[in-house]
Amino acid sequence: MNLFFLLLTLSIYILRAQGAVEIVEKHHVGKNITVIILGVAIIFLFSFTGTILPIILKKKKYLNLDTVLFGSIKIFGVGIVVGVAFIHMLIPGDQLLISNNSPHFFREEHPHFCGALVIIGVTIAHLIQVLTSHVLKSNVAKKNITDNKAGSDSENITTISNRDVCYLEVKQLNNEVDIREKQIVFYLVELSVAVHSFLIGFSFGLTSVDKIIPLTFALLFHQLFEGMAISSIFLEAKFTRIKPYLVMIALYTMIFPIGAFLGIVIRESFNDNDPASIGIQGCIDIIASGILIYDSLVNILANHTNSQIWANLSIGKKAIQMICFYIGLFMTGLVNTWI
């Protein structure tokens, strides 16, 4: 059933790709553009596979949230995300801002403004986390007080002591807040990755046809493993409704094709030497990298290595997961040689 759904989705997207080819040909871009459209369709398939695979396998015993395999996949994906933030976003963004055609403000007056933009991204992520955590704890605490008042009006007799009741209430409160905070972290990571995917897709649409094949192969692995990372973080946030699943899959898989299609349509008239375009793209990439760096290292990696599940692991199992993290970093650097 899952395979049928996957094939059906791919078929629909290929039909859409054919429609995109017809639109592009009306703009007189040329028939060779079909190669780019096909590359986008293949990358879409790998992106979709990366996000849907952990969801399909989540009910398997060997892929429960507390297993070494799930932790290894998750932390491998975190390595991919950290590498993307540093290698594919921060460094290229800095190079854009200090390039010959960048705005004078960045190129001459403030050539090291990249650091300030990263700090802005980190500050945004931290501020959102602090504020949402405060709001969540306040709302859950108010709800808890209301429930207690409602319960006190009943005359049911219980043998549980007041101390046990308070302990259970605090534990439930902390668990609920922890889940909500993980959901906020996921939204921030998803937003940053979406910005990055859109910019990569836009550049893909502007790429010359002779460079498309090696770039497509590089992006296949990039989107596949990044999708697995996003999906693993999503599963740990314990969303219960179907809508967040659909939004997560649709946003990650569709944002790259949207960027690529926009790049294809305007490739004839786009001026990649325009100072305003260079400045905007560089700033967005760097700020998004700051958000991604903070969330991936502080909210995901640090929380993972400070969790009770991690504390119960043997040194060998911990080493396996950390090796997976380093492999993710290494693979991102390796893919960068083709992007």
pLDDT digits (tens, 9 = 90+) for 66-100: 788 888 888 888 888 888 888 888 888 899 899 88
- Amino acid code (one letter) for 300: I
* Distance, CA of 239 to CA of 78 (rounded, Å): 20
C-alpha gyration radius of the chain: 23
Please determine, for residue 310, whether its predicted confidence score (pLDDT) is greater than 70: yes
Helices and strands, number each (H, E), in the chain: 13, 0
pLDDT on residue 174: 58
What pLDDT, on the 0 to 100 scale, is given for residue 50? 87
Lowest mean pLDDT among 112-116, 150-154, 224-228: 150-154
**pLDDT tens string 96-150:** 899 888 888 888 888 888 999 999 989 988 887 788 777 766 766 666 556 555 5
207: DSSP letter: S
Mean pLDDT of 7-16: 52
Give yes or no for residue 321 having a pLDDT over 90.
yes
**What does the domain layout of the chain look like in residue ranges?**
2-148+162-335
Among candidates 68, 4, 10, 12, which has minimal Cα distance to 313? 68
Q: Average pLDDT over the chain, rounded to whole?
A: 77
The C-alpha angle 302, 306, 310, rounded to 5 degrees, equals: 115
Say whether pLDDT at 32 is over 90: no
How far apart CA 281 and CA 268 sit, in angstroms, is 19
Given this model, what pLDDT does residue 142 score?
67
Selected residue with higher pLDDT from 262 and 128:
262
Output the DSSP codes for 8-27. Answer: HHHHHHHHHHHHHHHHHHHT
More reliable by pLDDT, 44 or 308: 44
Q: What is the pLDDT of residues 167-197, one digit of tens each?
A: 444 455 556 667 777 777 788 778 778 887 8
Neighbours of 171 (CB within 10 A): 10
pLDDT at 314: 92
